[in-house]
């Protein structure tokens, strides 16, 4: 599975707003600068995410965007589905009539298993989880793999475990 630019940038947009929006609305112009994403593209993404209930906009001089729900309640799977549609490797698993060979396909059970694992894992990761892990990577130094890169981070006893 390869995520489109829409999903990658949409997740970055949501993470930026989750991180920066703790003290009030976040201007898309600021997100564009921090994330190096075109403002026009962020406007398009934010419209879709707002329609899906993940973002709320605030008007006025100090306006911008805030999360529509707490970061701990927004999963990566939900975000990808709102931006892309269903999450999966192959169409036959996502749509009942996408392939006429499903009944005799020797590889269907493999695709089904992979898709189920992918969906379960993406559904288990929230924006809050990603913010926590990014913070740990910056603060604690190398020990465990961090999401989204070759960096590693460690956890002290009593910290939330990352699996």
Domain assignment present for 82: no
Predicted confidence (pLDDT) at residue 1 exceeds the cutoff of 70: no
**pLDDT at 85 (0 to 100):** 82
Q: Cα–Cα distance between 54 and 68 in angstroms, integer?
A: 5
> Do 9 and 65 sit in the same domain of this protein?
yes
Q: Cα–Cα distance between 43 and 29 in angstroms, integer?
A: 9
Domain assignment present for 27: yes
Q: Cα–Cα distance between 133 and 131 in angstroms, integer?
A: 5
CB burial of residue 48 (10 Å; 0-12, 13-18, 19+): middle
Predicted confidence (pLDDT) at residue 98 exceeds the cutoff of 60: yes
Q: Cα–Cα distance between 54 and 61 in angstroms, integer?
A: 22
Q: Which residue has the higher pLDDT, 127 or 132?
A: 127
pLDDT, average across residues 107-115: 87
Total length of the chain: 163
> Do 117 and 145 sit in the same domain of this protein?
no
Domain assignment present for 117: yes
Structural domain count of the chain: 3
Distance of CA 81 to the CA centre of its chain: 10
Per DSSP (E only), the strands in 18-98 are 55-58, 64-67
Domain assignment present for 81: no
> Do 144 and 101 sit in the same domain of this protein?
no
Instruction: Write the DSSP string, 105-130.
Output: -TTHHHHHHHHHHHHHHHHH-BHHHH
> Do 157 and 105 sit in the same domain of this protein?
no
> Do 114 and 132 sit in the same domain of this protein?
no
pTM given for the model: 0.78
In tens, the pLDDT along 61-89 reads 889 999 999 999 999 999 999 998 877 77
Domain assignment present for 79: no
> Do 117 and 154 sit in the same domain of this protein?
no
Percent of the chain at pLDDT > 70 equals 80
> Do 65 and 12 sit in the same domain of this protein?
yes
Residue 12 belongs to domain spanning: 5-71
> Do 143 and 111 sit in the same domain of this protein?
no
> Do 135 and 119 sit in the same domain of this protein?
no
In tens, the pLDDT along 19-62 reads 999 889 999 999 999 999 999 999 999 999 999 999 999 988 88
> Do 13 and 59 sit in the same domain of this protein?
yes
CATH number, domain with residue 53: 1.10.10.10
pLDDT, average across residues 136-158: 51
Q: Cα–Cα distance between 41 and 14 in angstroms, integer?
A: 14
> Do 114 and 140 sit in the same domain of this protein?
no
Predicted confidence (pLDDT) at residue 130 exceeds the cutoff of 60: yes
pLDDT, average across residues 110-119: 89
């Amino acid at each position: 599975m390869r995520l489109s630019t829409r999903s990658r940038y949409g997740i970055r947009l949501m993470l930026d707003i989750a991180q920066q929006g703790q003290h009030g609305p976040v201007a898309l112009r600021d997100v564009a600068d921090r994330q190096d994403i075109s403002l026009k593209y962020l406007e398009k993404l934010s419209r879709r995410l707002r329609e899906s209930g993940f973002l709320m906009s605030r008007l006025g001089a100090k306006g911008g965007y805030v999360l529509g729900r707490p970061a701990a309640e927004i999963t990566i799977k939900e975000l990808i589905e709102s931006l892309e549609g269903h999450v999966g490797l192959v169409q036959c698993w996502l749509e009942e009539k996408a392939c006429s060979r499903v009944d005799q396909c020797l590889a269907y059970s493999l695709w089904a298993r992979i898709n189920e694992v992918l969906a379960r894992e993406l559904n288990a990761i929230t924006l809050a989880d990603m913010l926590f892990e990014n913070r740990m990577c910056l603060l604690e130094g190398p020990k465990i793999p961090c999401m989204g890169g070759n960096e590693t981070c460690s956890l002290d006893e009593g910290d939330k475990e990352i699996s």
